[in-house]
Amino acid sequence: MHTVLVVGAGPVGLVMATELARHGIRCRIIDALSQPSSSCRALGVTTRTLEVWEDMGILREALAAGIWISGRRVTIAGGPAQDMREDLSGFPYAQASFSIPQPQTERILTRHLASFGIVPERGVTLTALTQADEIVTVWLISADGKTEETRFRYVVGCDGAHSLVRRTAGIAFEGERLPYEFMLGDVQIDWQLPRGYAFQSIYPAVNAAPDFFVAIPMPEPNRYRVSMLASTDSTVLHEGTDHGIQAMRPAPDLELLQAKADQLVGEPARLSDLRWSSIFCISMRLASSYQVGNVFIAGDAAHLHPPTGGQGMNTGIQDAYNLAWKMALVLKGKSPESLLGSYTIERREEGEKVIARSLRASMNTGQAGFKTDRLADTQLLVSYRTSPWVAPFSEENWPSEFRPGDRAPDCPGLRRQGVGYPCRLFDLIRGTAHVLLIDLRDPTKDSQDALHSLAARVRRELGEAIGLDLRIIAISPLMNRFNPLPEITWVHDPDGSFTNTYSSQNEACWLIRPDGYISWCGVGYTNPALFSYLQKLFAAPFRIHQTQPGGLQPG
């Protein structure tokens, strides 16, 4: 029995299915389309999404298929062009954005999902669903007309702006459509723009959307995805759907796109080889909740906003990455069902912020409309401090700026015994477990014994299985002089990289969630507050048994 149905095999649904599988939960994933879309819709990838892909194990393949956006050329109202570069030195990825066409992203994710033995079922449409007794009953129809009624513990709707999952679950989707349209195109451009640069030209307007021309580079030399305001003489503004590509409408031709470029670019730019184009509509909408009972939504099914800053697909990927590990722990019987309630609390608040930020940037007529902060669109600043599923913080004289709910930063230069090269903190915490980091300035035999006692207590009071979901890493500026047991990872911090990055102190502890966020921190690995939090997190109301390889269900 599959316990989860994922509806939608775009980037968000594929991440959701893959992450469930990586955490040990098999699922079914369906998509109404018989083939993946070949059009280049989502393109930009944020720094945070690259961190997620690194954890998932697909980063190397993704980097080989895309191109770094190394800078941008900006012009305002036809004025002199300015070349800008974002330097993110000190972060794992030192450039602000990466470009990879959505079809490539989906191919990489589909191949990765197949490595877990799961293949998206295409041409399969969800027609209805109901909930009763913690079971979701769904009705499916395949392209050949075959119908199916089946049941799942959870259903996750990653089925886009017009989500049937959202509508059948009765989730309100409040907001409105922007009163103008956009044109998109996949073209070749011959001009003097350096390879890897984006181009942005904006002409401010009063009480109206600013006119603009944006070109985002694609991996193939001289190819760009261009976007611009549609012609104001459009007579079909209110036809079609209220969000997304208007597939039923006539697509703009090369001549129309070239005319916009001639009007707005301000330098010679010849467009050619039009492979795909479309009229595009945008709504600003936010779901009232991301969960009703055992039905969840993610991605465009939950939030819609202007594409400024390339936040749409990336925000959806963060939704799936946030939900999957929680759902896996609940299905394995290791965490209470209430943990899933944190998904809406954490991700809906972020969706609201993205909508507001994207709208401000879209309507801003000044230079700040392009970028308000060097980290504004990286998603590295996302925090869940208000979540009830991160521990309340009450430490006095805490030296660090980081609190429960913040993203755990990376740091380089760490060493492990017997390994000839240094490693990053992200290398050590990667995986599906919670990780307890302990800053141990002067490890002694007593402190080593105390850590082993902590690991034994976790197994004894929370269960042997929990020991696999909680790893303990002790980090010290001194090389460990002992021969510790395998249950503790000892790491040498010769240059104080960890201590300085975290502004840490002796015996400071940091509990890192599987999605890379701090869920508890404090001083002392025997701190009663730490174990109280672990008891809350791993207070399972039921246990499970394995019914088939990789398939888990309540016992």
Could you tell me the CATH number of the domain that includes residue 19?
Answer: 3.50.50.60
Give the Cα separation of 14 and 111 in Å (integer). 10
Whether pLDDT at 137 is above 60: yes
> DSSP assignment of 224-240, as one string?
EEEEEEPPTT-S-TTSS
397 domain-assigned: no
Q: What is the pLDDT of residues 364-421, one digit of tens each?
A: 544 444 445 667 778 899 999 999 999 988 778 888 999 999 999 999 999 988 888 9
Tell me: do 149 and 256 sit in the same domain.
Answer: no
Contact 116, 2 (CB under 8 A): no
Check if the beta carbon of residue 217 is closer than 8 Å to that of residue 223: yes
Joined tokens for residue 71 = 């800078």
- Comparing CA positions, the residue from 330, 282, 305 lying closest to residue 134 is 330
Strand 135-142 and strand 147-152: the pairing is antiparallel
- Kindly give, in sequence order, each residue whose CB lies less than 8 Å from that of residue 450, ignoring residues fewer than 6 positions away: 525, 526
Q: Say yes or no: 160 and 184 in one domain.
A: no
Residue 184 lies in a domain: yes
The verdict on 357 and 465 lying in the same domain is: no
Q: pLDDT (tens digit, 9 = 90+) per residue, 26-83? A: 999 999 999 988 777 788 899 999 999 999 999 999 999 999 998 899 999 889 999 9
Q: Is the distance from CB of 46 to CB of 314 less than 8 angstroms?
A: yes
Instruction: Tell me: pLDDT of 265 over 70.
Output: yes
SS3 string, 443-479, reads: CCHHHHHHHHHHHHHHHHHHCHHHHCCEEEEEEECCC
Q: Of 208, 39, 33, 43, nearest to 125 (Cα)? A: 33
The percentage of the chain sitting over the pLDDT mark of 70, rounded to a whole number, equals: 88
CATH code, domain carrying 239: 3.30.70.2450
In Å, what is the CA distance from 427 to each residue of 63, 259, 422, 469, 486? 18, 50, 10, 17, 17
The label of the residue with tokens 């941008």 reads 72
Is residue 240 over pLDDT 80?
A: no
Same domain assignment for residues 63 and 158? yes
H/E run at residue 491: strand 488-492
Domain boundary among 282, 317, 352: 282
- Name the domain boundary from 334, 349, 369: 369
pLDDT band at 526 (very low <50, low <70, confident <90, very high): confident
Element (H, E) at 68: strand 67-69
Q: CB-based burial of residue 148 (10 Å sphere; 0-12 exposed, 13-18 middle, 19+ buried)? A: exposed
Residues 247 and 261 in one domain: yes
Q: Measuring CA to CA, how many Å separate 353 from each of 11, 107, 118?
A: 21, 30, 34
Using an 8 Å Cβ cutoff, are 341 and 351 in contact? no
- Give the CATH number of the domain where residue 448 resides: 3.40.30.10
| Residue after which a domain boundary falls, among 251, 282, 313 | 282
Per-residue burial over 350-369, b = 16 or more CB atoms within 10 Å of its CB, e = otherwise: bbeebbebbbebbbbbeeeb
Q: Tell which wins on pLDDT, 175 or 167.
A: 167
Give the total number of structural domains in the chain: 3
How many CA atoms, within 13 angstroms, populate the side-chain half-sphere of residue 476?
17
What does the block give as tokens for 332?
């394995």
Q: Which has the closest alpha carbon to 475: 496, 456, 452, 450?
A: 496
Q: Residue 271 belongs to what domain range?
A: 176-282
Least confident range from 433-437, 451-455, 534-538: namely 451-455
Residue 511 located in a structural domain: yes
- Indicate the pairing of strand 97-99 with strand 67-69: antiparallel
Residue 479 has a pLDDT of 74
| Residue 83 falls inside a structural domain | no
> Which run of H or of E encompasses 6?
strand 4-7
Where in 210-326 does DSSP place strands (E)? 211-217, 223-229, 244-245, 270-287, 291-292, 295-297, 303-304
Alpha-carbon distance 337 to 237, whole Å?
45
Residue 300 has pLDDT above 90, yes or no: yes
| pTM score | 0.92
The pLDDT-based confidence of 446 (bands split at 50, 70, 90) is confident
Which is more confident, 363 or 226? Answer: 226
Tokens matching residue 294: 């055992």
The pLDDT of residue 31 is: 97
Which of these, 527, 500, 513, lies nearest to 393 by C-alpha position? 527
What's the pLDDT score for residue 245?
59
Element (H, E) at 179: strand 173-190
- Is residue 36 domain-shared with residue 144, that is, in the same domain? yes
**Can you give the pLDDT at residue 555?**
28
| Position 287 confidence tier, pLDDT thresholds 50, 70, 90 | very high
Within this chain, do residues 116 and 180 fall inside the same structural domain, yes or no?
no
> Are 248 and 225 in a shared domain?
yes
Residue 313 and residue 292 share a domain: yes
Asked whether residue 374 is domain-assigned, the answer is: no
396 found inside a domain:
no
Residue 322, pLDDT > 90, answer yes
Percent of the chain with pLDDT over 90: 61
In a domain? residue 198 = yes
Residues 114, 227, single domain; the answer is no
Report yes or no on 392 lying in a domain. Answer: no
Scan for tokens 């890192």, then name that residue: 512
How far CA 499 is from CA of 249, 321, 443, 448, 477, in Å, comes to 58, 28, 15, 19, 9
Please indicate, yes or no, whether residues 57 and 135 belong to a single structural domain of this protein. yes
Q: Do residues 431 and 470 share a domain?
A: yes
